[in-house]
Amino acid sequence: MIQKEIRMSNGIVPGNYQNLHLANIWGEFIDWEKRRKGENGFLVRALQEYGAKTVLEASLGDGCDSIYLIKQGFDVTSNELDSVFRETAIENARKENVDLKITTLDWRALDAQFSNNHFDAVILLGNSITYLFTKQDQLAALRQFKKILKLDGVLIIDERNYQYILDHRNEIAAGKFEYSGKYVYCGERVHARPIEIHDDSVIFEYRHQETGERGTLTMYPFKRGELRQRLRESGFVSIQQFSDYKEGENGKADFYQYVCQ
Ligand SMILES: C[S@@+](CC[C@H](N)C(=O)[O-])C[C@H]1O[C@@H](n2cnc3c(N)ncnc32)[C@H](O)[C@@H]1O
C-alpha cells in the first residue's frame, strides 16, 4: 500500500490545518449520497420552516451542500477561505451543471463584504466551527453570523459529539472508536479517527482505505453544552438542538445540529 501524505498547498487557516490538505479525499470522506440519506431532508425542512430563501453556506468545502441547496431552489452564496477546497467545489459544480456564487472571507470578518440583515439563513455544517480554538474567535464568528442574518433569520450549525471522545479517550486509544458512519461523514473508503485527544485539542487522522493516503486535522473539542453557551452569548435566543437530526440531546449521537434564531 502506498503511504502518501496529503500536503496542503496553502495553509491559510491560522493554526488549524497544520499544512495538511484533505480536499482531495473529502468527497470520499463525505459520500454525498449517504450524507443526504442520513439527514433525510432535515436541512431543507429547517430552512423552509423559517421561510429562508437567501442562504450563506459559510464553509463550502467541496460543494456538497451548496450544490444540493441550489438544486432545491435556494439562492445560495458559498463562502470558502481555502483555495484548494474552492477549486474542488467549482469543479464539482461544473460537473453538476450548477453555478456557485463564491466569497472568500474569514468567518470573523464577514461584514467586510455583507451588510447587516443580509441573509435569511446562514449554515455552518460538517463540524466546521471546531476550526476555531479560542472562545474569543468562536464568539467573533458567531456574532458575525448573527450580524449578517436578518432579524428573523436562522443559523444552522453542527458539531461532532466531542464529549464522547473526551470521555472515552482510553478506549479510543486502544482502537475502540465508536462511530456509526451514517451521518455527515459517511464514506467507506476514507475513515477518520482521533489519534490524539487532549482537553483543548483533538487530532483526527483521515486515511484512504485503498490508497493509503492520509491527512490529519487538529480541532477544538467543544465540551457538552459549550457551543450552545457560545450561541447564547453571541445573541441567539431560540436554540433548538438535534442529535443526528433527531430533536433532543442524545449522548450517543455522532453529531449535534442546532437551529438558532
Ligand atoms: C470541516 S470543513 C467542512 C466543509 C463542508 N461544510 C462540509 O460539510 O463538508 C470546514 C471548512 O471550513 C473552512 N474554514 C475553516 N476556518 C475558516 C474560517 N476562519 N473562515 C472561513 N472558512 C473557514 C475550511 O477551509 C474548510 O473548508
Amino acid at 220: Y
Domain 26-160+223-260: assigned CATH number: 3.40.50.150
Average pLDDT over residues 86-114: 97
pTM above 0.95, yes or no: no
Grid cell of 34 as nine digits? 449517504
Assign 77 a pLDDT band (cuts: 50, 70, 90). Answer: very high
* pLDDT > 90 in the chain, percent: 88
Q: In what order do the strands lie in the sheet with 214-219?
A: 190-197, 202-208, 214-219
* Residue among 122, 128, 222, 254 whose CB has most ligand 1 atoms within 8 A, to mutate: 128
Question: Which residue in the block uniquely carries the three cell numbers 463562502?
Answer: 79
> Given ligand 1 and candidates 9, 10, 12, 13, which is best to mutate, with the most ligand atoms within 8 Å of its CB?
13
Mean pLDDT of 140-151: 98
Whether residue 18 is predicted with pLDDT greater than 90 in this model: the reply is: no
pLDDT (0 to 100) of residue 16: 38
Q: Which residues contact 79 (CB under 8 A, 6 or more apart)?
A: 56, 57, 58, 59, 60, 102, 103, 104, 105, 107, 110
